[in-house]
Amino acid sequence: KAGVTQTPRYLIKTRGQQVTLSCSPISGHRSVSWYQQTPGQGLQFLFEYFSETQRNKGNFPGRFSGRQFSNSRSEMNVSTLELGDSALYLCASSPTYYRENTGELFFGEGSRLTVL
Amino acid sequence: LAKTTQPISMDSYEGQEVNITCSHNNIATNDYITWYQQFPSQGPRFIIQGYKTKVTNEVASLFIPADRKSSTLSLPRVSLSDTAVYYCLVAYGQNFVFGPGTRLSVLP
């Protein structure tokens, strides 16, 4: 069974640009959640999508957005990039959304974004 | 303000039992506590989850006291390959909060 796939694995952008990251969940999983990981702030929850609807959202500005498609694949977008957005962005999938799930999240290897 | 705290680092020797505690004072009555392990350049990997009392699986045990304001991950007989960062995760309302992570170093 294939795991969670994130693309691209590495990317470099400049301030003010925007970026789109993609996440393909494990087959049959309908929930995708996104996380930002930095050395200073650790792992922070961005948002969770289930059946194409955002179910939960963390404390991030509106520049961070996401969506989920009918095949459960998800994308997140960051607009007007800032230097502080440099991070490892992780996505995780699970069979159902967190409140209904046992809570086990299956993580991808992440997309490392560098903003210059 | 929801907050989850853990020790930043711990050292241990091979074969010892390691206990890592996470504090989560504002946990809701229906929230689970979940622990993850992360190696460099990899995403976190699920270890164990619990709601109350004690849970055990093939790799770890999780102890949760009656007030549920903390939880302790217990790794029996650690090996060098257990060197990693360990995170607890608690959902506060609609926000999932990870602890800062505990960097465990297992020495030979």
Bridge partners, residue B105, by sequence: B11
SS3 B80: helix
Q: Is the pLDDT of residue A113 over 90?
A: yes
Q: What pLDDT, on the 0 to 100 scale, is given for residue A102?
A: 60
Chain B positions in Cβ-Cβ contact with residue A109 (cut-off 8 Å): 41-43
Euclidean distance between CA atoms B89 and B98, whole angstroms:
4
Q: What pLDDT, on the 0 to 100 scale, is given for residue B80?
A: 97
- The per-residue pLDDT for range B14-30, each reduced to its tens digit, is 999 999 999 998 887 77
Please, is B55 exposed, middle or buried when counting C-beta atoms within 10 Å of its C-beta (0-12, 13-18, 19+)? middle
Tokens of A55: 């179910």
Chain A positions in Cβ-Cβ contact with residue B62 (cut-off 8 Å): none
- The per-residue pLDDT for range B27-72, each reduced to its tens digit, is 877 788 999 999 998 999 999 999 888 999 999 999 999 999 999 9
B86 lies within 8 A of chain A by CB: no
Cβ atoms of A73 and A23 closer than 8 Å: yes
Chain B positions in Cβ-Cβ contact with residue A43 (cut-off 8 Å): 44, 87, 98, 101
- Tell me the nearest-neighbour CA distance from B58 into chain A, angstroms: 16
Chain A positions in Cβ-Cβ contact with residue B34 (cut-off 8 Å): 103-105
- The per-residue pLDDT for range A7-66, each reduced to its tens digit, is 999 999 999 999 999 999 999 999 999 999 999 889 999 999 999 999 888 999 999 999
Q: Do A42 and B41 make contact, defined as CB atoms within 8 angstroms?
A: no
Q: Do B96 and A58 make contact, defined as CB atoms within 8 angstroms?
A: yes
